[in-house]
Structure 1
Amino acid sequence: MLRQQAMRSTRTATPVMRVQQAARGFRSTGRKLRPMPKEEHSAHTISQRIRSLKKIPPELIPIGVVLFAAVFAAFYSLLRKFWVDKTLRLRRTGKSAD
């Protein structure tokens, strides 16, 4: 009977024990934070930069393709507008232009 009571007490913790267990994760360890060491030679050659592209999550690749297409289309339409539109006012007109 004593064994059953001991096992029961370990399975169901009292509310005070639950709070203490939850607070245990928030205690400071007393260690001082040290600055992160700098990585030596962090992607300074082209081949290393290409290798670092493998770290991009595959879920972001379609978003990147769509974003690239949108920016390309915006620049294309802007440059085409400047090149083709003959009614575009490039200089001031009227008395204030003098």
Structure 2
Amino acid sequence: MQFTRFLASNMLRQQQMQLARSSGVLRTQSARRMFQTSSKRMAVPKEEHAAHTISQRIRTLKKIPPELIPLGVVLFAAIAAAGYSIIRKFYTDRTLRLYRQGPQKDH
């Protein structure tokens, strides 16, 4: 398993070097870093700048695919209607049991 990884990384490294030479740019350090097989390199990279202010969070909303916007609108409308209905039920239903009924038992 390790031997096949070693062969694959060597082949990819050679291809990268040939590409770099043919384009006139020699990037040996970045090529070596890119094809290292250590567990540190296998980890998922973090986002460049994680949103930590409100304005940055608002800017990340632009990354939402446009196909999901109608779904969001429908979902928001459903949650708003459910909230309205439950609040209206609590205020208008006179038969709703709000307190315990029957004899109280002392513990």
What TM bracket, shorter-length normalisation? 0.5 to 0.7
Q: Structure 2 stretches of 5 or more lacking a match? A: 10-35
Q: Which of the two has greater helix per residue?
A: 2
The range that moved more, 75-84 or 37-46, is 37-46
Which residue number in structure 2 is paired with residue 60 of structure 1? 68
CA RMSD, aligned part only?
2.3
Higher relative CO (CA 8 A, sep ≥ 6), structure 1 or 2? 2
Which residue number in structure 2 is paired with residue 5 of structure 1? none
The structure-2 alpha-carbon separation of the partners of 1:42 and 1:87, relative to structure 1 and needing over 3 Å to count, comes to: same
Which residue number in structure 1 is paired with residue 102 of structure 2? 94
Which residue number in structure 2 is paired with residue 14 of structure 1? none
Q: How many matched pairs?
A: 72
**CA offsets 1:7-34 (integer angstroms, 9 cap, x no match):** xxxxxxxxxxxxxxxxxxxx75355251
Counterpart CA distance in 1 for 2:105 and 2:96 is: 16
Q: TM-score, normalised by structure 1?
A: 0.61
Counterpart CA distance in 2 for 1:85 and 1:97 is: 28
Deviating beyond 6 angstroms after TM superposition, the runs of 4 or more aligned structure 1 residues are none
**CA offsets 1:34-61 (integer angstroms, 9 cap, x no match):** 1234335411111111110000000000
The share of aligned pairs that are identical, in percent, is 65
The structure-2 alpha-carbon separation of the partners of 1:97 and 1:77, relative to structure 1 and needing over 3 Å to count, comes to: farther
Counterpart CA distance in 1 for 2:105 and 2:71 is: 46
Which residue number in structure 1 is paired with residue 56 of structure 2? 48
Q: If you compute each CA radius of gyration, which structure gives the higher value, 1 or 2? A: 1
Q: Structure 1 stretches of 5 or more lacking a match? A: 1-26
Counterpart CA distance in 2 for 1:97 and 1:80 is: 33
Matching residue's letter, 2:44: M
1:81 partnered with 2:89 = yes
